[in-house]
Structure 1
């Protein structure tokens, strides 16, 4: 995901993709719509998990909710943007398979079909990043190669073991992808050592994820320590504090980033303290702190740049974008308070508010693009 760049932090130039080989804007739009369908379907599944009214009922939607949101939606969005950077037609198979796999998990088809589609998408995603790394063999691109490997590993572990066991892999995929992008976009502000520092943190997180497979008592806690370290590193090195003093889109970006980093730190702290417990209190904070509070804050922050890069259509900044961002974090506060305090109603209300926040965000983004 490409972040909005301040005047103090221009992005590092990328190798240009062959213009004649770029996929059509219409094809990219269809793939983005496929990811959007996965998002809406995942939100419906989230309502089922909250045990509140959902527009569509399903016996297994609650069980596959996490994979649909992380790989079906985020996997489609991130791999689509990476395929656009690569500029090769075969690269668009990755987002197509991620979206198809997410929807297959929710369909009456055998569960194995969706799992295999996500694994195949992960193989192609790794191939995209390797091709990009051959063009530009930089440490930050190597970190993103590692993030794609974790996405593939998460799909395999979810299919062979369980989604809960795969959660550290999926969290690693999201966190390393976003951290590497932020380090690239704010390179001048972060300094010349940022690449090597983040590469070391990425290696530590990967080792902790591997340890979580064989040492379930201590491994997840090591993952929590690594997530805390990455959140602290981002808070210390990113341009958030400078941009908070600015106005307009710069302040919006800074608040979204700050909220995301704080959610990642909270998830890391809870995971360090309690491990990967299946109890609602810690599990809910860890999972939704990473995938809602952190990842989707980054999506909200970066969408004014993602859409022009992928579709060639501008999404202008407007103050109305603060509404879904605020709703998301009000909902998370209620949800986490309800989960940690054992207040079922607050937990459910907070969950419903986060769903509404994402729906409002989608509607707002579409409206701004169309009016533009």
Structure 2
């Protein structure tokens, strides 16, 4: 039981405004650097030539650390910022600072230091989620804590050079379970069917079992992991509120389209993951149907809501948001379809994947400018009327 002497919101006294203002540009720079370097590394791995970088060392480092840059340096830092803003504790910002700094050292070729900084980030991040569970004991907050533990497990395997076969299942489990926790929280807005929460727990326990088993027995673990991803896609398709909000209008419909499209790619990723474990050449399909089709779709869907909260910018939503989303899905179809057939268009698809992400970033920037322009004129008119 909480003591009555304990302040109800002690976090309000712990984060001076000047600190958040000082670290915001730094964190933004680390996020942007991780994303750009991760994309460059991914393009190199897909066979896209980047001649302007031929005489630099960091592109090679980016190619080697592509997954770490995207999952830990970019997404881990973004999620760390979101969680730090939510919990409002000064020490919570150490997690995104450490993961962003770890990405910088990976790019510099200091892989050991970079990896252990990412481990430190996950330790702080896990502690932050312990605080959140202490404040709100709910199924989704417990799930966020388990997801943080999965990130820590993957980071430890990465730092101890256990290889991507052992590391990637834990990293993706972190992202998948974080998204599942957010969607579970949203199901509170609708009437839950009996057994919905229990079935989700069984599916995610299977996912964790597959990740753990992949370290010892990659074939069996991969089959279990892929099966869990397919089952999770089915759970989300059946129980998530997006199947109702897709009938709405504006931002609600856009978010639902992002989510439902992502769930389809999640099922594809699960099937491809299991097939890869059996020896079929579908590794690129497994990783990028999950990383791009599912996770980036979720990012595009949630960004118009999350960015105003953590970056204090307001966005003017419009139909143009659908353009980068459509480009992402179509380019992923090209990439994965061409990859299965051994077609050189796979690299073209990868390049268009990157272009879709860049276009989405430009859309966000344009939406922020559009909101300011639209709301500047009424404000100016109100000011003139007041002064007169």
* CA shift for structure 1 position 240: 2.2
Query: Corresponding residue for 1:353?
Result: 352
Query: Corresponding residue for 1:175?
Result: 176
Task: List structure 1 segments (4+ residues) > 6 angstroms apart after TM superposition.
Answer: none
* CA shift for structure 1 position 174: 0.7
Q: CA offsets per residue over residues 17-67 of structure 1, 9 Å max, x none?
A: 733334524533531332122111111111111221225342232111011
Contact 2:61 2:108 in 1 (8 A): no
TM score, norm. by length of structure 1: 0.90
Q: Which has the larger radius of gyration?
A: 2
Query: Corresponding residue for 2:331?
Result: 331
* CA shift for structure 1 position 242: 1.8
**Structure 1 CA distance for aligned equivalents of residues 14 and 316 of structure 2:** 28
**Structure 1 CA distance for aligned equivalents of residues 107 and 9 of structure 2:** 38
Aligned CA distance change for structure 1 residues 268 and 190 (closer, same or farther; 3 Å): farther
**Aligned residue pairs, count:** 354
Higher relative contact order (CA 8 A, sep 6+): 1
Aligned CA distance change for structure 1 residues 240 and 144 (closer, same or farther; 3 Å): same
Contact 1:190 1:238 in 2 (8 A): no
**Structure 1 CA distance for aligned equivalents of residues 366 and 62 of structure 2:** 29
**Structure 1 CA distance for aligned equivalents of residues 106 and 23 of structure 2:** 23
Is 1:35 matched with 2:51?
Answer: no
**Structure 1 CA distance for aligned equivalents of residues 228 and 214 of structure 2:** 12
Contact 1:94 1:121 in 2 (8 A): yes
Query: Corresponding residue for 2:318?
Result: 318
Contact 2:157 2:167 in 1 (8 A): yes
Q: How does 1:31-70 map to 2 (within 5 A)?
A: 31-54=27-50, 55-57=52-54, 58-70=59-71
Q: CA offsets per residue over residues 153-183 of structure 1, 9 Å max, x none?
A: 1111122211232111111011000011011
Q: Which runs of 5+ in 2 are unaligned?
A: 1-7, 373-388
**Structure 2 CA distance for aligned equivalents of residues 253 and 94 of structure 1:** 28
**Structure 2 CA distance for aligned equivalents of residues 129 and 20 of structure 1:** 19
**Structure 1 CA distance for aligned equivalents of residues 278 and 93 of structure 2:** 34
**Structure 2 CA distance for aligned equivalents of residues 17 and 264 of structure 1:** 40
* CA shift for structure 1 position 290: 1.1
**Structure 2 CA distance for aligned equivalents of residues 211 and 248 of structure 1:** 43
- SS class of match (2:247): coil
**Structure 2 CA distance for aligned equivalents of residues 236 and 25 of structure 1:** 42
Q: Which runs of 5+ in 1 are unaligned?
A: 1-14
TM score, norm. by length of structure 2: 0.86
- SS class of match (1:302): helix
Q: CA offsets per residue over residues 75-132 of structure 1, 9 Å max, x none?
A: 0011110111111000001011111111211114x21011111111111111111111
State which of 222, 235, 238 in structure 2 corresponds to 1:236.
Answer: 238
Query: Corresponding residue for 1:18?
Result: 11
Contact 1:25 1:312 in 2 (8 A): no
Q: How does 1:1-372 map to 2 (within 5 A)?
A: 18-22=11-15, 24-54=20-50, 55-57=52-54, 58-108=59-109, 110-160=110-160, 161-189=162-190, 191=192, 193-275=195-277, 281-343=281-343, 345-371=344-370, 372=372
Q: For structure 1, which segment, 243-252 or 145-154, has the greater mean C-alpha deviation from structure 2 after superposition?
A: 243-252
**Structure 1 CA distance for aligned equivalents of residues 77 and 302 of structure 2:** 16
* CA shift for structure 1 position 16: 6.1
Q: What's the RMSD between the two structures over aligned residues?
A: 1.9
